[in-house]
Chains A and B, each alone.
Chain A
Amino acid sequence: MAASSQTTSPTRALRDADLIDGSGAWAKEARLTASDRAQAAGLPQRRDEYWKYTRPDAFVQADVTLQASLRSGLNLFDQRNIISVAFEDGKIQAAVLPNAAQCTLESLASASVLDLHWARDVYGRLEEAGQNPIKRSLAAVNTAVAREGLLVNVTGAVEAPIHIHATSSGQSDAIIHHVIKVAAGAEVTLIETGQYGARSNIVLEVDVADAGRFHHIRVQDGNERHMLTHIFGRIGAEASFKSFTLTAGGQLTRNECVLQLLGDDASVSVAGACLGDGGFHHDDTVFITHDAVNCESRQVFKKVLRNGAVGVFQGKILVKAGAQKTDGYQISQSLLLDDDSQFLAKPELEIYADDVACSHGSTSGAIDAQALFYLRSRGVPEAKAVDLLTLSFVAEAIEEIEDEDLAQDILDHLTETLSAR
């Protein structure tokens, strides 16, 4: 992944050949143009403003020195009716993906050898749109080199959630690129759990057509892993996009979410809750562009940090000229359980339309001593009381999940995680 500024060298030609080896026409084009984008942008540097609070080094250095822990037993959501897709060490495990009504599931590996595929209108396209105004070259690298991922074409309301569960062992790098296309009026829920590799670079492109609905729930855990994820969303008129992420492990996580509201009356919500402990660094970077009238966007992020954990939030609402009646809301809060932890935030607004109501709030502080005292006076042991207050602190983020059953699963998982630590 080393960047070279030379564009037409013999090594470049060799690398390009390698890049498109076995690709069909559409994938060939997407991979080559993405490679050009990555070349032009260069890799992120430590001094880049966009990487102010998270060092990009770990994502760009050549070798992975991490040992992913194999967690076999994340049985979250197992009890439900789900369409299950398993990844192991960055590969889809089933030779044939499950069939489901109202949608088709394919692997990128099998679709990319074809000359024509519906994914050509989305794959790399949304990522490309998300490169402006800020370069996200690691996402372009992903588009260029990813060989595996899940492609879902949603044509109606899919009843059961699609569940991607990834497991990994060893020191592998995983570069995965998912594409979800939600047709007009269609609806789907995507759940992602587990870890793809010791170091993962994951891109999820979601194209939601008019009046389509997309729900996304993600649980990130694991121990020593590094993970960089990008969600690129294009949201049509009256459509809805909701993404929630729970992060309760991993050494380094950066979740970027880049959404563009292009149709009127659409609504999006991006939420996250994270529990950080020890050498844990978690970064949520959100960029929402309002380019249509009467849209709503919400960002709700809660971070609970202890033992020197670091939580980062960079959120931006960009309201373009003409995007009147925009309702933008953004809240980022941290609960620092001890003196060594850090919360670093940069909540931004950039507004070029006047008839809007945009607000952001950010707070940081310790646990409320009075609330703690109250619980203890009622006979709740201190550790339990801290857990209870922690749960109530992150509740606002979990409430962003629309499906109450899934929200309850997340809450249960969180309670379990808290009591286990």
Chain B
Amino acid sequence: MAMDDVQVKDGVDAETVEAVKALSGTYKYGWNTEIEMEYAPKGLSEDIVRLISSKNDEPEWMLDWRLAAYRRWLELKEPDWAMVDYPTIDFQDQYYYARPKSMEEKPKSLDDVDPKLLETYKKLGIPLKEQALLAGVEAPEGERRVAVDAVFDSVSVGTTFQAELRKAGVIFCSISEAIREHPELVRQYLGSVVPVSDNYYATLNSAVFSDGSFVYIPPGVRCPMELSTYFRINAENTGQFERTLIIADKESYVSYLEGCTAPQRDVAQLHAAVVELVLLDDAEIKYSTVQNWFPGDENGKGGIYNFVTKRADCRGHRSKVMWTQVETGSAVTWKYPSCVLRGDDSQGEFYSIAIANNMQQADTGTKMVHLGKNTKSRIISKGISAGRAQNTYRGLVSMHPKAKSSRNYTQCDSLLIGDKCGAHTVPYIEVKNNSSRVEHEATTSKVDDDQLFYCRSRGMDEEEAVALVVNGFCKEVLQALPMEFAMEAQALVAISLEGSVG
């Protein structure tokens, strides 16, 4: 383990803490890398869809799939039920494909990747090289390792640890590669969890997704390391439409980390991703996200519009999925990671922290659809609003008539900091059998003055005190995060709330 890389990561964190103290309303990742980009022409049409498909060397069936999605999308209406308010998006005023010029020739290995790209990731503190990741993490079995697939704008730039994963039988590659190399798996599962016509943004994604990650864990395999993807939107006016497909075969296990950032721009950028998880008998997937896309400035200028469809299908008996998310970025968030608990005794968990500051708007939550017998779900949602932000929890718990003896527990807590923000809770509860138990509770309150006062009396400044109290409020979710993310998430919580008190 190289020590200087360890310090890079530590350094970033320390620097951030400094930045928080010194500056107000700035965004840590708000620079952009000057790399020559290759764009497809602006706008969306069948030709663009064909172009994206041909750029990725896709087979005919994939192009047909995309075109069907595109035609379907034209008939759909943009949803307006979420409690978010943003100017109408001109879908013809976006680039649907952008990739670094140096990717014209696909890199053979990481060494072939444009050093500037790698530099970008280094600035982000993303550990494309293995050592940096292991910073200060206690390894349970000797060492703990993470394989990374990084998506830069529309193209996946490098996947580390390929060889070792291959030895275990794990396939971890970009989805474009998977379409070429493992068409049978992709054809079987792509769109089987989130159908092409699922919703407006998912359909758009199906038509124009340019890259993303693909994971297949074979039966009985415990993925030897944590898998990670990093998304970054670098070019101006581009939408990023990544598509992730994870298949956990029988008795397999994988932990997947996802992080996202975007440089600071004063025009809003669009992001519409689709994530599909498939779990067969006894499989387990842990999916963790730290999302800190650029949230726009204090006046709500710029930022990412994040319209994401994430769904896990627990097809197998006794399968288990766990969504953990820390949402601190994006100007507008529209995201409901869901679990379809189809297999008997399957379990779904959702742990979420959503922080909205300044002019941010977040409408996020989960759906737990209980179809199988004896299924269990647990929802812990912590929403924090500050500044003039609006934060909404929207969720569904549905117990179908056949989901006998199932169980749900939901807890949604909202914290308000300041009197200009809003916190809302919109849960749907549908119980259609009597052997299931459903419990839902929600509270809304403000940061406890007594706790703040106590912290202040111990010499903390107000911002530190708020960060500490808020971290305490989020504790249950932070504990559910993998170690690598937990530290970063705690720091993020503090950064996101910077400027919200006083």
Residues of A within 8 A of B (CB): 49, 321-322, 324, 334, 336-366
Contact = CB atoms under 8 A, between A and B. Distances in A.
B424 to A, nearest CB: 5
Contact of A363 (B427, B432, B438): B438
Contact of A354 (B83, B425, B446): B446
18 contacts: A336-B431, A340-B401, A344-B428, A344-B431, A345-B428, A346-B428, A347-B442, A350-B83, A353-B416, A355-B419, A356-B444, A357-B443, A357-B444, A359-B444, A361-B439, A363-B439, A363-B440, A364-B431
B442 to A, nearest CB: 5
B447 to A, nearest CB: 8
Which of B419, B434, B436 counts the most A-chain CB atoms under 10 A from its CB?
A: B434
B128 interface: no
Nearest to B417: A354
A339 B435 contact: yes
Contacts of B442: 347, 349, 359-361
A276 to B, nearest CB: 13
Which of A338, A351, A363 counts the most B-chain CB atoms under 10 A from its CB?
A: A351
Nearest to B425: A349
B423 interface: yes
A363 B417 CA distance: 29
B81 A49 contact: yes
B437 A351 contact: no
Given A354-B416, A362-B440, A348 B425 contact: yes
Contact of A366 (B416, B422, B429, B435): B435
Contacts of A361: 439-442
B421 interface: yes
Contacts of B446: 354-356
A351 B83 CA distance: 12
Given A344-B429, A346-B428, A351 B422 contact: yes
A348 B444 contact: no
Contacts of A359: 441-444
B47 interface: no
B444 A358 contact: yes
Ranked nearest first, the 9 interchain pairs of A and B with the lowest CB-CB distance are A336-B434, A354-B416, A364-B431, A345-B429, A365-B437, A349-B425, A362-B440, A358-B444, A366-B434
A39 to B, nearest CB: 24
A347 B440 contact: yes
Contacts of B434: 336-339, 341, 365-366
A348 B394 CA distance: 9
Nearest to B405: A366
Interface in B410-468: 414, 416-446
B21 to A, nearest CB: 25
A342 B431 contact: yes
B441 A350 contact: no
A365 B434 CA distance: 6
Given A347-B442, A356-B445, A356-B446, A321 B428 contact: no
B416 A351 contact: yes
Nearest to A344: B430
Contacts, number: 118
A299 to B, nearest CB: 13
A56 B416 CA distance: 37
Contacts of B425: 347-349, 360
A354 B424 contact: no
Nearest to A366: B434
Interface residues of B, number: 37
A334 B443 CA distance: 20
A336 B416 CA distance: 36
A350 B363 CA distance: 12
Given A343-B429, A366-B434, A358 B443 contact: yes
A322 B420 CA distance: 9
A360 B441 contact: yes
Contacts of B423: 349, 351
Interface of B: 81, 83, 399, 401, 404, 414, 416-446
A365 B432 CA distance: 10
Contacts of A338: 434
Nearest to B444: A358
A357 B431 contact: no
A357 B432 contact: no
Contacts of A344: 428-431
Nearest to B415: A354
Nearest to B410: A362
Nearest to A305: B434
B424 A349 contact: yes
B434 to A, nearest CB: 3
A306 to B, nearest CB: 9
A357 B423 CA distance: 12
Nearest to A363: B439
Given A361-B440, A363-B440, 14 more contacts: A321-B420, A339-B433, A339-B435, A342-B431, A344-B429, A348-B424, A350-B83, A354-B446, A355-B446, A362-B438, A362-B440, A362-B441, A364-B431, A364-B437
Contacts of A343: 429-431
B419 A346 contact: no
Which of A324, A358, A362 counts the most B-chain CB atoms under 10 A from its CB?
A: A362
B429 A346 contact: yes
A349 B444 contact: yes
Nearest to B401: A339
A343 B445 CA distance: 28
A347 B442 CA distance: 9
Contacts of A322: 419
A191 to B, nearest CB: 32
B388 to A, nearest CB: 10
A364 B429 contact: yes
B421 A354 contact: yes
B82 to A, nearest CB: 12
A340 B404 CA distance: 12
A62 to B, nearest CB: 31
Contacts of B431: 334, 336, 342-344, 364
A358 B442 CA distance: 8
A338 B434 CA distance: 6
A356 B401 CA distance: 38
Given A348-B424, A366-B435, A357 B445 contact: yes
Nearest to B427: A347
Nearest to B435: A366
B240 to A, nearest CB: 31
Which of A49, A341, A364 counts the most B-chain CB atoms under 10 A from its CB?
A: A364
Contacts of B438: 362-365
B371 to A, nearest CB: 15
Nearest to A319: B444
Which of A338, A354, A360 counts the most B-chain CB atoms under 10 A from its CB?
A: A354
B43 to A, nearest CB: 32
B422 A350 contact: yes
Nearest to B424: A350
B354 to A, nearest CB: 15
Nearest to B391: A351
Contacts of B426: 346, 348
Which of B399, B401, B426 counts the most A-chain CB atoms under 10 A from its CB?
A: B426
Nearest to A355: B446
Which of A322, A346, A352, A356 counts the most B-chain CB atoms under 10 A from its CB?
A: A352
A240 B418 CA distance: 29
